[in-house]
Structure 1
Amino acid sequence: MKYFTIAELCKSETADQLGIDNRCKKEHVVNMTALVDNVLDPLRDAYGKPIRVNSGFRCPALNKAVKGSATSDHMTGRAADITGGSPKENKRLFYLIQSLGLPFDQLIDEKNFAWVHVSYREGANRKQVLAL
């Protein structure tokens, strides 16, 4: 983990505002480390400037509060919603992940590049590219 921290991936303003304990467990740290090492850090190296994590790990209560999918990879620490700061930069990140051939399970253009969702599953990546 070169550019990202576990604390950054667990930080949630929504959890803070609602008093939700969003601390992760050891198995979540393993998954977040794999996501960072295989996708986020190589992406940051290629992108050449900071990438912000809007949402990383979500405990079930936080996931429910933000109306996340009941099967969200965020709850296992396998997903992050990221931004380069604008829809234009998010679009660049979205296509950079693909052009670099980075391993991912799902890559989602969220709300016309308001942010990019990327997930990683050790040894089980489906390479799904979606727009929601």
Structure 2
Amino acid sequence: MANFTLAELVKSSTAEQLKINNNPPSIVRVHLTETITLLECIRAEWAEYCERHDLGTPAIRITSGYRSPELNKAVGGVKNSAHVEGYAADLQPVNGKQNEFERFFATEFSHMGYAYDQIIIERSKSSRWVHVGYKRADGKQRRQCFTLKV
């Protein structure tokens, strides 16, 4: 499997449509590299989970990564969003097994001892995703896991 890339975490169709510059400053690129390290661990553990439960391909899609302050405002993100600092990504499984993906985070990954700030299983009327926050801007990692209806 290929590694996650900075380009995946910075790409935004919303930024492209609205002509918003979504290029992160150098310090945020460092943060994104730290976040990628956690995402690689998630991918490896999810691959094992998929194999054990015969769920098919373990690929993971990043639906939202870094957001410039302007992009974050445009998408309705909270002011203190970890996305703006390069410390968060929203994920969905490519195999479509969203229920299993959420179960994996709630019952397995969140208890494996990895360093993270928040795992939020988010559900809207039209979509579902898992928000993974590596750490807060102040460096704290609260190891919180919960579900949020948005």
TM-score by length of 1: 0.89
User: Counterparts in 2 of 1:112-127, with a 5 A limit?
Assistant: 114-121=128-135, 124-127=140-143
**RMSD of aligned Cα (Å):** 1.9
SS in 1 for 2:66: coil
Q: Which amino acid aligns with 1:111?
A: R
Q: Which runs of 5+ in 2 are unaligned?
A: 48-57
Structure 2 residue 92 is the aligned partner of structure 1 residue 83? yes
Aligned match of 2:12: 12
Provide the C-alpha distance between the structure 2 equivalents of 1:27 and 1:97, rounded to a whole number of angstroms: 28
- The question of 1:104 aligning with 2:103 is answered no
Q: Report if aligned partners of 2:10, 2:22 keep a CA contact under 8 Å in 1.
A: yes
Q: 61, 71, 74: which one pairs with 2:70?
A: 61
Once the two structures are TM-superposed, the CA of residue 124 in structure 1 deviates from its matched residue by 2.0
Question: Is the 8 Å Cα contact of residues 88 and 134 (structure 2) preserved in structure 1?
Answer: yes
Of residues 79-88 and 23-32 in structure 1, the stretch that sits farther from structure 2 once superposed is 79-88
Aligned length: 130
Q: Given residue 135 of structure 2, which amino acid in structure 1 is its aligned partner?
A: R
Q: CA deviation at 1:93?
A: 4.2
> Stretches of 4+ moved more than 6 A in 1?
none
- Report SS of the residue matched to 2:20: coil
- Counterpart CA distance in 1 for 2:7 and 2:104 is 22
Structure exhibiting the larger radius of gyration computed from Cα positions:
2
Q: Where does the alignment leave 5 or more consecutive residues of structure 1 unmatched?
A: none
